[in-house]
Every structure is written in structure tokens, then in C-alpha cells.
Chain A
Amino acid sequence: ELKVEQNPLFLSMQEGKNYTIYCNYSTTSDRLYWYRQDPGKSLESLFVLLSNGAVKQEGRLMASLDTKARLSTLHITAAVHDLSATYFCADPPIIQGAQKLVFGQGTRLTINP
């Protein structure tokens, strides 16, 4: 069964703090995507991690991928209120004849002043 699990599902944190969102996936995929979704809005692509050990950073967000552990992390440094959103990781499983993204449940992040 194709499965992507995020942890935690809900996260409330203070501005200025650091935290990490974890994404475990069940397939042998060699890449992983992170998306952001604001309430009532669509999904915005944040990071595309294309190989084992890949690390990408954009502002206060940093994503990494460990394909051997089937784990990706999204690290938030010195959080600010603007980062409040729901974050999804998505796995493109290696299935012959298929091209799809399997999404996690999402992590709803709330950053309090």
C-alpha cells in the first residue's frame, strides 16, 4: 500500500522557535516534494528533492531527503507568523505506467506572536 505519513499533524509554536516536520513514505521513491497550502487557497510548490541526501533551503525553511530511511524533513528556523499554513509532503512512487503524487495528511502549522 502506498502510504505517506506526516508527523506532527498539528503544530502550534511561538515566533522565533525552531521545529521540524517529518515525512515518512512507504515506497522506494528517489524523490520527494513539499507543498504549502494557505486556508482556502491552492497548493504552492516549495521544494523538489531529487536524490538521496538532497538538501534545499529557502529563507527559514530547509528540506532534506534520506531515501534509505524513506524520510524527509522540513525544518523551520526562527519561525515567523507568515509561515502559518498547512504543509504537505508528496511522494511520486515508482510504479510502471503511473505518474502520480501520493500526499501525506498535511501538517497544520500555527505560529503565534
Chain B
Amino acid sequence: EAGVVQSPRYKIIEKKQPVAFWCNPISGHNTLYWYLQNLGQGPELLIRYENEEAVDDSQLPKDRFSAERLKGVDSTLKIQPAELGDSAVYLCASSPGSIRGETQYFGPGTRLLVL
């Protein structure tokens, strides 16, 4: 069974430029998460989707971050414009449903460096 797929794996951009990350969850998983992981820290939730609906985006900095999950499968996370402090690893995860505490399966992440 294929795991969570993310692309690109690495991205280097200059500040003020836009950037987008793509995630394909495990087939059949209805719930999708985007996490931010700063160096030396644990992941922090940015947004959670149940199918195509964003049900928890309270931690998403909406002035520059946006996300979408059209058709309830793949998802895209965008930053526009990027700032130096956005350099981090962006992880996508998925789980079969929306039961609290269900195991989340993580993708390899996109490592972003903003210069």
C-alpha cells in the first residue's frame, strides 16, 4: 500500500515569493492534516480536512497561508508571500476517518528554505 506522497521534497525560494506544496493521502483516507515542523521541534497542526471541508484551521496564519482539498483527495498548501520564518518542514498526514486519536500516517515532508 502506498503511503502519503508529498512533493516537492525540497524547495528553496527567496522571501516574498509564493510557494505551494502538494499532498496525496493514503487511498481511502478521508481525513488529511497539514503540520509545520520547525527544526528541533515536534510537528504543529496547521489545518485538518475531513473530505473536502476544512474543519480545523485555527492555527493557519490566514494572512499568507491558504490550503485547499478539492474533491476530498489531494491537497495543496500555499504560502504567499513567504517570509524567512517560514523555513521549516511541512508535513502532510492522513487517517482513515475522524475518530479522535486515530493513527495518523505521515508523508516524507517538504523541506522549505526561504532566503
B103 A99 Cβ-Cβ under 8 A: no
A103 B101 Cβ-Cβ under 8 A: no
A45 B100 Cβ-Cβ under 8 A: no
Given contacts A99-B31, A99-B56, A100-B56, contact A43 B43 (CB under 8 A): yes
Q: Which of B60-115 contact A (CB under 8 A)?
A: 91, 93, 98-109, 111
Chain B residue with minimal CB distance to A41? B108
Q: Which of B23-75 contact A (CB under 8 A)?
A: 31, 33, 40-45, 48, 55-56
A99 B91 Cβ-Cβ under 8 A: no
B105 A45 Cβ-Cβ under 8 A: yes
Main secondary structure of the interface of B (DSSP, over half): loop
- Give the contact stretch, choosing among A58-66, A72-80, A90-98: A90-98
| B-chain residues with CB within 8 Å of residue A97 when the two chains form the complex | 55-56
With A and B bound together, what is the CA distance between A103 and B36 in angstroms?
11
| A-chain residues with CB within 8 Å of residue B42 when the two chains form the complex | 4, 88, 90, 103-106
| B-chain residues with CB within 8 Å of residue A44 when the two chains form the complex | 106
With A and B bound together, what is the CA distance between A33 and B91 in angstroms?
17
Of A4, A48, A88, A99, the residue contacting B48 (CB under 8 A) is: A99
Q: Which of A28-76 contact B (CB under 8 A)?
A: 29, 31, 33, 35, 40-45, 48, 50
B107 A42 Cβ-Cβ under 8 A: yes
With A and B bound together, what is the CA distance between A88 and B93 in angstroms?
15
| A-chain residues with CB within 8 Å of residue B98 when the two chains form the complex | 99
Chain B residue with minimal CB distance to A99? B100
> Residues on A close to B: CB < 8 A?
4, 29, 31, 33, 35, 40-45, 48, 50, 88, 90, 92, 94, 97-101, 103-106
Closest 9 CB pairs of A and B: A103-B42, A92-B101, A43-B106, A42-B106, A100-B45, A42-B108, A31-B101, A99-B100, A88-B42
